[in-house]
Amino acid sequence: MSLAVLRFTGGLCIAAGVFFSFAAVVAILRFPDVYTRLHGSSKALSGGAVLILLGALPYTGTAAGAMKLVLIGAFFLVSNPMASHAIARAARKREKEENGQ
Amino acid sequence: MSIMGFATAVFLFCLGLFTVLTRRSAFKTVIGLMLMESGVLLLLVSWAYIPGGGPPILPLQGTGVDPLPHALTLTAIVIGACDIALAFAFIMKLERFEKSVDVDRFRRLRG
Amino acid sequence: MNVSLLAVLYLFIAVTALVAVLLEDLLSAFITLSFTGVLMATVFALLRAPDVALTQAIINSGLVTSLLLVAYSQTRKTPHPPEVCDECPSWLQVKVPAFVCSVLGLLLFRGLYSLAGERSLPEASAHYLARTLEETGALNVVGALLLDYRAFDTLGETTVIFAAVSGVSILLSGGKRVHSGHGLSYIVKRGMALLTPFILLYAASILFLGHLTPGGGFQGGSVFATVAILMCVVYGTGFEASRISSKSKETLEAGGAILFVLVGLLGIAWGAGFLSNLPAPFSAGTPGSLLSAGSMPLLNIAVGLKVGAGLSSIFYAMIKILELEDE
């Protein structure tokens, strides 16, 4: 019974994650410049991927598999903001150079 | 079932060949080579799949898929990465001499 | 097996490959191509080929893309050639190759059509699946095939890697590395410092458990090379090169090759043949433990050294030229 409830919650989490990822795609397509696109995609992607991993937790069956998913989620939470930060800085640097210092 | 995999593999191979034949940028030629390689990899792996088979890790539950094409594919991926790296080295070297990545302009060695 | 999921993935593979070919902008084409690689890794995992999926994800969509980007940034100052040449007639440029490719595709598909359908295991593969545990002591059948049944093949493959590394180094030789570049910002540097031990641990687990779980020397060595590339990007080009010089990379690579051949020669010394595993005095051990499967862990380490050192020296040979141009 409780497993069924957990799995239903997991399904809801996956649905929310899919929505966030979809929002990220819309942001990349519709936003005008690098910074706003990065804002949309990084936030929605962190949230989306982590939510999908959370939702997959009840379906793994083993403790080791669940632990792997948690580790992957932690890796996402550390690495994704780092990558967006690096991209934003590089874009800013290039913008400065193109405007003649 | 595996016919979809075969169709995609043939499509990738022919698309890669078309790219190699028609595009002038040397980078596009390398992209074509990579696509042809991907087609061969996909063909081998989808040929190895057997309905109901598990991954070739012991102990098996029931039957397993064919492990031999997997070993061949693994070899092919590593060799492919190596020769693509060599192709890039050639492109970078040629670009320093010819100041171009246009394959039609690499005529220095033509007889 | 979810057929509709597989069909969607195949469709996306075809579409991304087509987009990568049609895009004018090379950088976007490379990114699209790496996406094709990730989709193919997913398909391989669904087709029950975890070893191949791991290799495809690490090498084809990770390492090769980084090499593409280095080569692209090296040559970006030259003008981009037009897609088709102006002097030649257009039917020769596009229509004839398109016709040839579609005829070839139809013929290939016609030939493959008879291969589809129900397929049973060939005799050799059934033998491998049934007898691997007793003949090699390994749990990963693909790893046992690479390092025991077909170990000679793998030795030839490492020779090809050696030839590629030598070729790239000779082609891009001349000129010394300039210790330029301060890397990325403080936040990225600290974040990378936090992540590096875990990535190294992951690489070591792939490498040392290659005879038990999907993975092995090729995949583990490639992850090690990825760490070298990440360090080069994050901390600036001089950082990793000053700690592990290219000389010691050469030594590591040669050490891997020598270890591989020595393990093979040990088999000859026991009268069992080159690269033989259990007939030579290697213990099979308890199945599933770290020190089992005879010589396979040793060969995994040898291949890992070779691939890791080889791929990172290819990357550094390309970077070297890049810095000379920037001077």
C270 assigned to some structural domain: yes
Would an 8 Å CB–CB cutoff place A64 in contact with chain C?
A: no
pLDDT at C87: 64
Residues C174 and C30 in one domain: no
Phi-psi region of B66 (alpha: psi -120 to 50; beta: other; left: phi over 0): beta
Chains adjacent to A (≥3 CB pairs closer than 8 angstroms): C
Distance from CA of C161 to the nearest CA of B (A): 6
Axis-axis angle for helices B26-48, C64-74 (nearest 10): 170
C130 assigned to some structural domain: no
Chain A residues near residue C191 by CB distance under 8 angstroms: 78-79, 82
From CA C253, how far away is CA C55, in angstroms rounded? 20
Confidence of residue C13 (pLDDT cuts 50, 70, 90): very high
pLDDT at C176: 55
B10 assigned to some structural domain: yes
Number of domains in chain B: 1
Q: Which helix (H) or strand (E) holds C325?
A: helix C296-326
Chain B residues near residue C113 by CB distance under 8 angstroms: 3, 6
Nearest CA in chain B to C162: B82
Block residue for tokens 């049973």: C120
From CA C211, how far away is CA C294, in angstroms rounded? 10
Residues C237 and C322 in one domain: yes
| Residue-number span of the structural domain to which A17 is assigned | 2-98
Residues C34 and C149 in one domain: no
B110 assigned to some structural domain: no
pLDDT at C322: 53
pLDDT at C325: 46
DSSP string, A34-84: HHHHHHHHHHHHHHHHHHHHHHHGGGS-SHHHHHHHHHHHHHHHHHHHHHH
Q: Does residue C323 carry a pLDDT above 60? A: no
B111 assigned to some structural domain: no
Residues C75 and C143 in one domain: no
C123 assigned to some structural domain: no
pLDDT at C240: 67
Number of domains in chain A: 1
Block residue for tokens 């016609």: C110
Q: Indicate the burial class of C262 (C-beta count within 10 angstroms; 0-12, 13-18, 19 or more).
A: exposed
Cα distance between the two ends of chain C? 55
Please write the tens of the pLDDT for every residue from B31-86.
Answer: 999 999 999 999 999 888 888 778 888 778 778 888 888 999 998 998 999 889 99
Half-sphere exposure for A101 (CA within 13 Å, toward CB): 0
Residues C159 and C268 in one domain: yes
Tell me the backbone φ, ψ of residue C184, rounded to 5 degrees. Answer: -90, -170
Chain C residues near residue A42 by CB distance under 8 angstroms: none
Show the tokens assigned to A15: 């649905």
CB atoms under 10 Å from CB of C183, counted, come to 17
ipTM here: 0.91
Would an 8 Å CB–CB cutoff place A79 in contact with chain C?
A: yes
pLDDT at B14: 92
Q: Do C7 and B88 touch (CB under 8 A)?
A: no
Would an 8 Å CB–CB cutoff place B94 in contact with chain C?
A: no
Q: Does residue C177 carry a pLDDT above 60? A: no
Distance from CA of A86 to the nearest CA of C (A): 7
pLDDT at C326: 44
pLDDT at C124: 85
- Which of B73, B93, B104 is closest, CB to CB, to C85? B104
Q: Does residue C203 carry a pLDDT above 50? A: yes
Would an 8 Å CB–CB cutoff place B55 in contact with chain C?
A: yes
Chain C residues near residue A89 by CB distance under 8 angstroms: 184-185
Residues C176 and C298 in one domain: yes
| Residue-number span of the structural domain to which C37 is assigned | 1-81
Would an 8 Å CB–CB cutoff place B4 in contact with chain C?
A: yes
